Amino acid sequence: MSDDTDHGHDIAPATRVVTAGRRDEWTRGIVNTPVWRASTILYDDVADLRAAAGKDTHHRLFYGRRGTPTQWSLADALTQLEPGAEGTFLYPSGVAAIAGCLLAILSPGDELLVTDSAYDPTRSMAGGLLRRMGITTRFYDPLIGAGIADLIGPATRAIVMESPGSLTFEVQDVPAIAAAARARGVATVLDNTWATPLLFPAIAHGVDYTILACTKYVVGHSDVMLGSVTAAPGRFAALRDTAFQLGQVTGPDDAWLASRGLRTMAVRLKQHQDSALAIARWLDAQPGVARVLHPALPSCPGHDVWARDFAGSSGLFSFVLDGGDERARAALINTLAHFGIGYSWGGYESLALPVDPHRYRTATTPDVAGPLVRLQIGLEDPGDLIADLDRGLAAFRAARG
Ligand SMILES: *Cc1c(COP(=O)(O)O)cnc(C)c1O
């Protein structure tokens, strides 16, 4: 269980980010838990070996696949950042975390409900791996809220949420969906990569399993793939058993880099938030921009839910162009000097990506009339980024005609 108090006072999230997961027996006085690399662990004698085999290996050296203090420290830190959580398991990517979580919950014959705004690889997993295992999926309107109750049937075992949605940023009413699910004994899973527990403590809002693509804000430096699932009380053992059976293990070097990134996550997020908000508001007033999809702006679907539930916003949002085609959108993106063109996000560098949400929808049609551009706002000076986008929009307007 996470310990949220210090002599009876609540510890602020920014302080927890610095202190969480650090234990003397793992660090030996070193600030960042060092890299403990291991496959074989040696035992004192046969009796010691036999005794270890019968015990719970949580936080005990047993064999490299069960981890070392480097991974345990990061997992513990993520648990401590999530008030009310029982435990966290790490995975070699965000997608592996989603798979590990769903395989811990679902069995053949079960039905899964997935938000229509979900990250595309989550959809592919439902239509591929899960379907092959005899698990059916129905996609639902991300703005369904408490209406999810009407979709829950006798075979429904889990509900996947992602808030805000990957490309279109609809903010989901997570507490309402979690309450409806709980009333029917259905497990809830949230992809919380955009907000992290610092901006949306998911388990405190009723979620059973909260997932981070740590590749994004936890790592923060665009150089490591990593994922995590943090479980509510009573849910961790199933998660860990499934991960062990799947042979999932995260390399200690990657876990160490992620622990190093985590310590600055609160200040990075604050800067991502401030710069992204300034740029989103500037874009909202520009000719050539039809609409900005940023949860903190009233034009974003679910904005009121964001204002009610979230402690802030991060650095990823989209904007809809006013007319134009693929070529005009490419003129904008190709003109940008300070934005890289590439997948992923959450690092220190800005990125711009052409995205086409209509391709990935089956239950709803996103309210996006023109070409869409997704921006990840990095840690550069926001004035430079605005000047860059100004040149890009001029190129877009010229190409659009
Ligand atoms: C990137 C991402 C993932 C997957 O993370 P990887 O580490 O790239 O596998 C999952 N969910 C969301 C919302 C993402 O943006």
Same structural domain for residues 166 and 280? no
- What is the residue range of 341's domain? 265-400
Q: Of the residues 76, 110, 116, 191, which is catalytic?
A: 191
Q: Residue 1's pLDDT is what?
A: 41
Same structural domain for residues 255 and 213? yes
Q: Of the residues 22, 66, 216, 268, which is catalytic?
A: 216
Respond yes or no: is residue 43 known to be catalytic.
Answer: no
Same structural domain for residues 219 and 312? no
Q: Residue 46's pLDDT is what?
A: 96
Q: For residue 210, what are its two tokens?
A: 């909260």
Confidence of residue 291 (pLDDT cuts 50, 70, 90): very high
Name all residues whose Cβ lies below 6 A of ligand 1: 93-95, 119, 162, 166, 191, 193, 213, 215-216, 225, 227, 344
> Once rounded to an integer, what is the mean pLDDT over residues 329-340?
98
Q: What percent of the chain has pLDDT over 70?
A: 98
Q: Please state the atom number of ligand 1 nearest to the C-alpha of residue 194.
A: 13
Respond yes or no: is residue 140 known to be catalytic.
Answer: no
Q: What is the pLDDT of residues 186-232, one digit of tens each?
A: 999 999 999 999 999 999 999 999 999 999 999 999 999 999 999 99
Q: What is the pLDDT of residues 17-44, one digit of tens each?
A: 999 999 999 999 999 999 999 999 999 9
Q: Which residues of 187-196 are buried (b: 16+ CB within 10 A; e: fewer)?
A: bbbbbbbbbb
Q: Please state the atom number of ligand 1 nearest to the C-alpha of residue 162.
A: 13
Same structural domain for residues 177 and 234? yes
Q: Residue 56's pLDDT is what?
A: 87
Domain containing residue 381: CATH number? 3.90.1150.10
Q: Please state the atom number of ligand 1 nearest to the C-alpha of residue 343.
A: 1
Same structural domain for residues 213 and 301? no
Confidence of residue 10 (pLDDT cuts 50, 70, 90): confident
Q: Which residue's CA is the nearest one to ligand 1's atom 8?
A: 94
With 0-12 / 13-18 / 19 or more C-beta atoms within 10 angstroms meaning exposed / middle / buried, residue 151 is: middle
Give me the half-sphere count of Cα atoms (radius 13 Å) on the Cβ side of residue 17. Answer: 21
- Angle, in degrees to the nearest 10, between helices 326-335 and 382-400: 150
Same structural domain for residues 138 and 31? yes
d(CA 216, CA 212) in angstroms, rounded, equals 8
Mean residue pLDDT of the chain comes to 96
Q: Inform me whether the pLDDT recorded for 158 exceeds 50.
A: yes
Same structural domain for residues 310 and 279? yes
Q: Residue 3's pLDDT is what?
A: 47
| CA 154 to ligand 1 center in whole angstroms | 30
Q: Residue 2's pLDDT is what?
A: 43
Q: Residue 57's pLDDT is what?
A: 84
Same structural domain for residues 71 and 181? yes
Backbone angles phi, psi at 234, to 5 degrees: 90, -5
Q: Of the residues 119, 140, 209, 360, which is catalytic?
A: 119
Backbone angles phi, psi at 31, to 5 degrees: -70, -60
Q: For residue 231, what are its two tokens?
A: 């479980």
Q: Residue 5's pLDDT is what?
A: 56
Domain containing residue 115: CATH number? 3.40.640.10
Three-state SS annotation for the chain: CCCCEECCEECCHHHHHHHCCCCHHHHCCCCCCCCCCCCCCCCCCHHHHHHHHCCCCCCCCCCHHHCCHHHHHHHHHHHHCCCCCCEEEEECCHHHHHHHHHHHHCCCCCEEEEECCCCHHHHHHHHHHHHHCCCEEEEECCCCHHHHHHHCCCCEEEEEEECCCCCCCCCCCHHHHHHHHHHCCCEEEEECCCCHHHHCCCHHHCCCEEEECCCCCCCCCCCCCCEEEEECCCCHHHHHHHHHHHCCCCCHHHHHHHHHHHCCHHHHHHHHHHHHHHHHHHHHCCCCEEEEECCCCCCCCCHHHHHHHCCCCCCEEEEEECCCCHHHHHHHHHHCCCCECCCCCCCCCCEEEEECHHHHCCCCCCCCCCCEEEEECCCCCHHHHHHHHHHHHHHHHHHHC
Q: What percent of the chain has pLDDT over 90?
A: 94
| CA 347 to ligand 1 center in whole angstroms | 13
Q: Inform me whether the pLDDT recorded for 8 exceeds 90.
A: no
Same structural domain for residues 71 and 172? yes
Same structural domain for residues 238 and 309? no
| CA 247 to ligand 1 center in whole angstroms | 20
Last residue of a domain, one of 262, 287, 302: 262
Same structural domain for residues 226 and 318? no
Split into its structural domains, the chain has a count of 2
Max Cα distance, the chain (Å): 80
Last residue of a domain, one of 241, 262, 283: 262
Count CB neighbours of 5 within 10 A: 8
In a mutational test of the pocket of ligand 1, which residue from 166, 211, 216 has the highest number of ligand atoms less than 8 Å from its CB?
Answer: 216
Q: Inform me whether the pLDDT recorded for 373 exceeds 70.
A: yes
Same structural domain for residues 221 and 358? no
Q: What is the pLDDT of residues 220-230, one digit of tens each?
A: 999 999 999 99
Respond yes or no: is residue 216 known to be catalytic.
Answer: yes
Last residue of a domain, one of 262, 286, 309: 262
